[in-house]
Amino acid sequence: MIIPAIDLINGKTVRLYQGDYQQKTDYQQTPEQLVASYFEQGADVLHLVDLDGAKDSKQRQTQRLKEIISVAKMPVQVGGGVRCQQDVDDLLALGASKVVIGSLAIKQPELVKSWLTVYGKDKIVLALDVQINEQGDKLLPTHGWIEQSNTTLESLLDFYGSDNISQVLCTDISKDGTLTGSNVELYRQLKQQYPTIFWQASGGIGCLDDINNVAQSGADGIILGRALLEGKFTLTEAISCWQNA
């Protein structure tokens, strides 16, 4: 599955380089224009990220998220700054099909594990961004990659239990926004180790060959952001590539 992404700062379409708010690119296309275009090209799901909310939950772009979700003709998974159960309730009330939870899933796993029961695992996507060190450990920084943690991807997944998780959005931070190709081996390992999880790959896609490589890794879906915004290929081409891999 190909999942186009729209990242928001101050209501407008942006992309960050490796999660760095100081390395931001603004795009002329409005979120509404992109939503319409992606739907016309065959998108089944949209990934919407509130980067203001991710940095400071008090700055969540609630009204803007509502406006974008309301015009989307496909399900929209939404993330950015989920800090408490009320945030989950609010995003679902706005019309989000799934809520994407990142930092909190790492810092308060017992709480988020309880939400998987309360809402059902199909309503929650865990966003686990990995920073792979020289020893090969898949560490999980938090809060937009600003804060380091000693938690590894595998230890966290084992805590939750793979049967309790529906989907995981996994980004190799070193690849994000670079257009230099994805960490194919990472997704191959993860799908083999946790076959029941729907893996959303993210980061580094710069050409159709990159999509083909991720598709063959065993990943179940792929998030596309910068490559689509900069016209490296169309969403239609990406979907065709994925289906034919």
Question: Which residues are catalytically annotated?
Answer: 7, 129
CA angle 42, 224, 81 (to 5 degrees): 110
Q: Which residues contact 122 (CB under 8 A, 6 or more apart)?
A: 98, 166
| Helix, coil or strand: residue 13 | strand
**Dist CA 78 CA 46 (whole Å):** 8
| Alpha-carbon span 145 to 231, nearest angstrom | 27
List, in sequence order, the alpha helices (H) in the chain: 31-40, 51-55, 62-71, 85-94, 103-107, 109-119, 153-160, 184-193, 208-217, 226-229, 235-244
Question: How far is residue 114 CA from its own chain's centroid?
Answer: 21
Phi, psi of 128 (to 5 degrees): -115, 105
Q: Give CA–CA dist 110/102, Å, rounded.
A: 14
Contact 93, 63 (CB under 8 A): no
Residue 17, SS3? strand
DSSP β-bridge partners for residue 78: 48, 99
